[in-house]
């Protein structure tokens, strides 16, 4: 089961924003074009990583508790003193 919140809420906006930075904003900045392209590309790549992780996300049930039958829960501990 995939997580649509991770894919569409985090991954896709990061890819779109990274592409916008790399393609639209970088040509407007003179002198630091390569740095802005790198940052935009990095944001886009991280967005793809989030999208892939959202595809493999699996919600886990809380099975960490030990289930003990009811007949074993009512026992008495007695101490012998001398």
62 in Cβ contact with 4 (< 8 Å): no
* Residue 17: φ, ψ to 5°: -65, -40
Structure tokens at 27: 């040509």
Number of structural domains in the chain: 1
Q: Which domain holds residue 71?
A: 1-82
- Give the C-alpha distances (Å, rounded to integers) separating 65 from 47, 61, 62, 81: 35, 11, 7, 34
- pLDDT tens, position by position, 33-79: 999 999 999 999 999 999 999 888 877 666 556 665 666 555 566 66
Average the pLDDT over 28-35 and give the result.
Answer: 89
Please tell me the distance from the alpha carbon of residue 23 to that of residue 13, in angstroms, as a whole number. 15
Please tell me the distance from the alpha carbon of residue 36 to that of residue 42, in angstroms, as a whole number. 10
């Amino acid at each position: 089961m995939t997580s649509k919140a991770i894919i569409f809420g985090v991954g896709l906006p990061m890819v779109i924003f990274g592409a916008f930075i790399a393609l639209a904003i970088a040509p407007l900045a003179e002198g630091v074009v390569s740095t802005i392209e790198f940052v935009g590309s990095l944001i886009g790549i991280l967005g793809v990583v989030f999208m892939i992780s959202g595809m493999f996300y699996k919600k886990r049930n809380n099975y960490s508790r030990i289930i003990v039958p009811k007949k074993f829960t009512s026992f008495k501990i007695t101490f012998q003193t001398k």
